[in-house]
Amino acid sequence: MASTLTLFVTSAGTGLLAGGASCAAVQGGLLAGAVGRRTPEAPHRETRRTPQARRGDVRAKAAEPLAPVGAFLAGKLVSHTLLGVLLGIFGAALQPSPRTRAVLLIAAGVLMVLFALDLMGVKAVARLVPQPPAVFGQLVRRRSKSGSRLGPAFLGFATVLIPCGVTLSVELVAVTSGSAVAGAAVMAGFVLGTAPLFAALGYVFRRAGQAFSGRLGIVTGVVVLGVAAWTVVSGLQAGGWYSTVGTTPAVAAEAQPEEPGKKPKAPALQGPVTIDAAGRQTIVLTVTDFYEPTAFTARSGAPTTLILRGKDSGGCARAFTIPELGVQEIAKRDGDITIDLGTRKPGKLIFSCAMGMQGGAIDFKEGAA
């Protein structure tokens, strides 16, 4: 599977670019309730105070709105991280094939599209957008009216019951991660990515009420549509149905002609593809943080072996898949893994990382050399 760090960084980026605005549009009321329902302290009688004390009061008053915002975000981080653990365990039990995982990614992208259109005010999709059970909404609304100091943390924790569209999509990614740690990293990264916008909105809500709530629709929808397109393309590549790269001219090296009385020479290495004297084809794919090369031509009709050559490999590239063949391998940090591709017919064979974030294609052609 994709590395935990890669999933964390990718999810944090999704939260920062799209999740914050999308979730703020859905959960902004909760946030406003969390920071706006605190019982104010009784005013102090006017007394003589030193300039230093007055400056301290000003700093404390400026920081006061951030306390409930921090509690709200902390509660949200805890609930979503726990959910990520459960989703990762669920995904590990399922052990989805590359194409099953790809279908989940595409479904996540479709969900993003629906929520984006709903945020942009397209009424035709309103009935297609998933909604939380009414009882959850009632519970949250009652708690938002409380003046308890634990209220903001509770409301933040409860946001897991009222997910926005991007959150639902990221939850599907957590399932495909296939482990409790990776699932937790996906959800924690996403929440931390949304934190800057939530913190800013919480401060504004605390200072000025809900004047800005509900006015993020159009901008949010456009951003979410962009993330949705990226997710769908990743899913198509992860399923082997589409590749974002082309192919290069043939690079297969022929075996050297035999010389009388001497053993046939091995072909000179002219690229990632070589053919030995017996007609067996070998493809070497180098795995670092990326695949090198990502596109090349090989000969069809020849028994073919693919060698994954790890060279300080890391990130998503280590989780190598060939969806058409159901191949799933974790490349070695440094070393080779051999995969038998059999005798291929003409056509492209697409490979990618498990999440479809990067990949390539081998174009098998008749007589390629």
Residue 57, domain member (yes or no): no
Residue 260, domain member (yes or no): no
Give the C-alpha separation, 112 to 333, whole Å.
35
Alpha helical stretches, state H, 299-363:
none
Residue 251, domain member (yes or no): no
User: How much is the average pLDDT of 109-126?
Assistant: 80
pLDDT one-digit tens code per residue, 224-257: 787 778 888 888 998 999 887 754 444 444 444 5
Give the C-alpha separation, 322 to 344, whole Å.
13
What's the CATH number where 304 sits? Answer: 2.60.40.420
Residue 311, domain member (yes or no): yes
Residue 51, domain member (yes or no): no
User: Interior CA angle at 172 toward 72 and 361, to 5°?
Assistant: 135
Clarify whether residues 80 and 219 are in a common domain: yes
User: Residue 91: its pLDDT value, please?
Assistant: 82
Residue 14, domain member (yes or no): yes
Range of the domain at 114: 4-38+63-238
Give Cα 132 distance to the centre of its chain: 23
Single-letter residue type at 169: S
pLDDT one-digit tens code per residue, 129-151: 766 555 555 555 555 555 556 66
For the question of whether the overall pTM of this predicted structure is more than 0.75, the answer is no
- Domain count for the chain, please give it: 2
Clarify whether residues 96 and 211 are in a common domain: yes
Residue 50, domain member (yes or no): no
| Dihedral angle over CA of 323, 328, 332, 333, nearest 10 | 70
pLDDT one-digit tens code per residue, 44-70: 454 555 655 555 544 544 445 567 778
Which of 194, 215, 238 lies at the terminal end of a domain, its last residue? 238
